[in-house]
Each structure stands twice: as structure tokens, then as C-alpha cells.
Amino acid sequence: MNDGPSALAELAEDTTLTRPFSGASPYEEYVHASVLNTLQQPLTEAADEMGFLVTTQVMELWFTLIVHEWRTAREAFVKDDLPAALDALTRSRRALSALNDSWQPIAALTPLQFEGFRAAFGRASGFQSAMYRHIEFLLGEKSEALVNAHRGDPAVHEALRDAHREPPLYDEVLCFLHRQGLPVPAHVRERDVSLSYTSDPAVVELWRGVYAGSPYEAPALLAEALTDIAELVARWRFDHLMVVRRAMGAKPGSGGTAGLAYLEQRARRVVFPELWEARGAL
């Protein structure tokens, strides 16, 4: 293989790198950047609205990736493929970290800055995000009422209805552990997965036993991967709460929720509660 100055000279002479493209570039055909860059349509002249729009749209993309990775992990658990499941969970952890960082462009909006464009989007609200609902359903937080709230969009409604009926990620984790010989009770494995998951003392004891053993065993590595995810989700919810508190205080939410009070209630919900309760039992 050539390297050094001669290789650079050959690269410089490669006309495929400099000649104009006939039609869309390979980059455009793959990424569709021109489509993405037409989706920001501010409704006011407020200087901060563009940042709000981009931030919201970027978060929706991160939601999509996180849902993809959690579904991939869930399928891997069904197949008893722990390495593939852990890989997907690790990728989702990185996506969650990036999602949390996405708050930065709007994290310091003042009430005056936010009011400069808030009225323009009317009753639009992040509460109405269908993809975020998929995230919550995968976390075991089910709500038929929130599925029905999307009846106006048949395709979205059908996808959410299917997700509502499917096992959350954590349920498949527990079924996987049962097949590996860990004592997951039948009433947990056979529960109605269209209902929200609630903590079970026997599962707390299961995780206590996992943590009492070697931290290098597969169940302990899985427990920590799930704990990382739970913590990052909690941080996202708390940051959401703080952004809203800073920008609009305790005003009602634009989508019809109680605003700050609703976010405070969501922030108190613990993801994978038994993993946290087990720590107090050691």
C-alpha cells in the first residue's frame, strides 16, 4: 500500500473527489440531510425558537434510536443471547447520554425568552410525543389512555396499541433470568404486560442475591447495565423538569397537563425499582 507524499499526490489527482455530482451526492442519498434541514420552520421571529425546534427534533431522533436498541435487546433476551443484549443496552446507554446532553441549547431559557414563541405552537407539547410513549412502554410504564390519545393518527395509534400489548424490556430480562435458573416467580413471568410493572419482593430478593455474588458474573453485569439506563432516564426526567421550571415556572403545560406538577410526578417514578431496592437489602 502506498503511503507518504506519493499517496497524497495520488489522492489529490483523483478526479472522483473533485468532479461535480450528477444528481444527489451519495451522502445526501444516505443521510437525507436536505430533508432534515427543511423541517425547521419557526413560527415567530424570536431568536430562541430555532434552538427550541432543533433541540426538540434532535430529541425525537434520539428517542427513535433508543427504542430501536431496546427492542433489539428485548429480542436478544428472548433468544437467550446475552452478549447481543448487552451490546444493545450499551449502545442505548450512549444514546441516552447524548439525549440528556441535548437539553443544553434550551436549558437556560428565561420566562421572557420562552414566552417570545410559546404562544405560536399553541397546544403542541412534548407530552404528545408518540416515540417517547414507546420509550415509556418499553420501560414498563403502560397506559391505555395514552394510546387512545393518538387515535387521530391511525398509523401512530396502531403502532402504540401494539407496543402497549408487547412485553416491556424488563419483563423479558426476568424471563431470561428464569431460563438461566434464577428464581423469578410465575406470577411475575405471567403477569398482564399491558399493565404497568410494579415491584415484587421476590424479584428484589433475586437481585439482592445477584449483588451478593461476584460482580463479574453475567447477572451482575446485566444488573449494572440496567441500572445505568435507569439512572440516565431519571436524569433526563429531572433535567426536563428543571428546564420547564426555569422557563415557565408552575404554569399549566401547553398540551393540557399540569405542567411542572406533572413532570414532578413523572420524575418520582423509579425505573427498574427492584434493582434499587435490592441495594438497601445488602
Return the C-alpha cell found at 82: 446475552
Return the C-alpha cell found at 238: 429531572
Q: How far apart are CA 275 and CA 229, in angstroms?
A: 11
Q: How far apart are CA 139 and CA 270, in angstroms?
A: 10
Backbone angles phi, psi at 162, to 5 degrees: -65, -45
Of 76, 92, 63, 72, the residue nearest 226 (C-alpha): 92
DSSP assigned state of 100: H
Q: Is 118 annotated as a binding residue?
A: yes
Q: Is 240 annotated as a binding residue?
A: yes
Q: How far apart are CA 14 and CA 12, in angstroms?
A: 6
Q: How far apart are CA 260 and CA 250, in angstroms?
A: 5
* Size (the chain), residues: 282
Q: How far apart are CA 52 and CA 109, in angstroms?
A: 9
Residue whose C-alpha cell is 433508543:
66
Residue whose C-alpha cell is 433475586:
206
Residue positions in the annotated binding site?
118, 240
Binding-site sequence positions for substrate: 118
Residues placed in the known binding site for heme: 240
